[in-house]
Amino acid sequence: MLGAFVLIGAVSKKGEADQLARWDLKTLLWILGSVVLFGLLLKPLGMVLSVFVLVLVSSMASHEFSWKGAVLNAIVLVLISMGAFVYGINLQMPVWPAFITG
C-alpha cells in the first residue's frame, strides 16, 4: 500500500522533475564489495564479526568517513542485528566464529 502511495505521488502532475547525479563507481564498489564480503565471512566468522566488517568496509564509501563513527555504528548495528535476527525471529545462523564456539 505504501508503494502505491509513493507511485501515485511520483507520477502526479504536482511531482517535481529531479535529475539523478552521475554514479560514483568507487562508492558503488565499496558498498557491493562489503555485501559480498559479508556473505563470504558469515559462516566462518559468524554474524557478529561479519556485520562489524560489513559496516566498517561499507563506511569507507562515505566522504565523511571516520573510524570513531564507523566503529560506533558497527556496534549499534551488531546489537540491533542480534536482537532482531537471533533473539527476535530465532534465525539459525552462526553468531560467533567457529574457533570461539568450538
- 9 falls within a domain: no
Would you place residue 101 in the very low, low, confident or very high pLDDT band (cuts 50, 70, 90)?
low
Would you place residue 32 in the very low, low, confident or very high pLDDT band (cuts 50, 70, 90)?
very high
How far apart are alpha carbons 61 and 32 in whole angstroms? 10
CB 72 within 8 A of CB 38: no
The pLDDT of residue 102: 60
pLDDT tens for each residue of 4-22: 888 887 777 776 777 778 8
- 29 falls within a domain: no
Question: How many helices and strands (H and E) does the chain possess?
Answer: 4, 0
Domain that holds residue 62: 46-102
pLDDT over 70 (residue 28) = yes
- 68 falls within a domain: yes
From 28, 30, 35, select the one nearest 60 (Cα to Cα): 30
* Distance of alpha carbon 15 from the chain centroid: 30
Tell me the average pLDDT across 38-66. 90
- 22 falls within a domain: no
How far apart are alpha carbons 39 and 72 in whole angstroms? 22
Name the grid cell of 99: 574457533
The pLDDT > 70 percentage for the chain reads: 96
pLDDT tens for each residue of 70-82: 999 999 999 999 8
Q: What pTM was estimated for this model as a whole?
A: 0.71
How far apart are alpha carbons 72 and 68 in whole angstroms? 6
